[in-house]
């Protein structure tokens, strides 16, 4: 349930992000495409390839938004496979359900409403920063994977190239909030992003979070000078 209205600042980060996503749900894909210069979709295709769900397999997309990544999973697993998209913002799921391609469930990443060992692959794209307890969410993703299953975390990160880091900072802290506000017609759209980026770990830091959660063979791929990174972790065959 959304707490707070247009004139009231929500009491928590989760309520704020939920309200913001609810207000821009039907413009979310357009905003992401414009603000990433069309790269958002390409990065998600790469994440699905890394997740490596086979035909007939089962995949879960956490913080699925409007379901574009869930539909990419569906194309890989085929009709015999199963795909679930999960998000905490109801209006996002309304858009996703209208587009189809998966079963969509409302819930929080820190308490996934699915059984242990249900999936061969789990993805979360640009959503881990928006959960209250990323460490708990990662352990939940480990729980719902089958032994040998893969988690792919696609996230913004701190660029590895110094000149690009400066340009990225200017774009993230000034341009994105301004364009988000103008394009979405919502005053707070993307204004949470600068603080989120400042607090976010670098690529190795996020890899350490995956290892601490219990994932094995953790690797990451730097994309766009490291401003975006795709992390891959595998559930051990003998996970506790």
Condensed to tens digits (0 to 9), the pLDDT of residues 41-82 reads 999 999 999 999 999 999 999 999 999 999 999 999 999 999
Q: What is the pLDDT of residue 4?
A: 31
Domain boundaries, the chain: 13-234
What is the dihedral angle through the alpha carbons of 96, 16, 204, 166, rounded to the nearest 10 degrees? 100
Q: Which residues contact 46 (CB under 8 A, 6 or more apart)?
A: 154, 221, 223, 230
Q: Is 104 helix (H, G, I), strand (E, B) or coil?
A: strand
More confident residue, 197 or 129: 129
Pair of tokens at residue 9: 């600042």
Condensed to tens digits (0 to 9), the pLDDT of residues 150-169 reads 999 999 887 888 888 788 77
**Poorest-confidence range of 20-24, 67-71, 109-113, 210-214?**
20-24
User: Residue 61: in which H helix or E strand, if any?
Assistant: strand 58-62
Q: What is the pLDDT of residue 67?
A: 93
Q: What is the pLDDT of residue 172?
A: 78
**Reported confidence tier of residue 115, pLDDT bands at 50, 70, 90:** very high
**Superfamily assignment of 13-234 in CATH?**
Vaccinia Virus protein VP39 (3.40.50.150)
Mean residue pLDDT of the chain comes to 86
| Cβ pair 111, 43 in contact under 8 A | no
Q: Give the residue from 24, 96, 35 showing the smallest Cα distance to 63.
A: 96
Q: Beta 228-234 vs 216-223: how paired, if at all? A: antiparallel
DSSP label of 62: E
More confident residue, 178 or 22: 178
| Cβ pair 50, 25 in contact under 8 A | no
């Amino acid at each position: 349930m959304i707490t707070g209205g247009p004139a009231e600042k929500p009491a928590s980060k989760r309520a704020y992000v939920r309200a913001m996503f609810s207000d821009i749900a039907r413009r979310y894909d357009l905003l992401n495409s414009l603000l990433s210069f069309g790269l958002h979709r390409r990065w998600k295709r790469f994440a699905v390839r890394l997740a490596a769900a086979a035909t007939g397999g089962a995949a879960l997309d956490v913080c699925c938004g409007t379901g574009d990544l869930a539909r990419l999973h569906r194309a890989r697993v085929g009709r015999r496979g199963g795909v679930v998209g999960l998000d905490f913002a109801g209006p996002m799921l309304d858009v996703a359900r209208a587009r189809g391609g998966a079963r969509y469930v409302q819930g929080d990443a820190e308490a996934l409403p699915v059984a242990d060992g249900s999936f061969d692959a789990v993805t979360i794209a640009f959503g881990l920063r928006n959960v209250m307890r990323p460490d708990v969410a990662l352990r939940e993703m480990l729980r719902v994977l089958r032994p040998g299953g893969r988690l792919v975390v696609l996230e913004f990160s701190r660029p590895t190239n110094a000149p690009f880091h400066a340009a990225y900072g200017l774009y993230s802290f000034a341009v994105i909030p301004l364009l988000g506000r103008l394009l979405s017609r919502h005053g707070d759209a993307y204004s949470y992003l600068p603080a989120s980026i400042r607090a976010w770990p670098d690529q190795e830091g996020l890899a350490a979070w995956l290892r601490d959660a219990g994932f094995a063979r953790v690797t990451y791929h730097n994309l766009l000078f490291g401003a975006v990174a795709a992390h891959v972790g595998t559930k051990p065959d003998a996970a506790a």
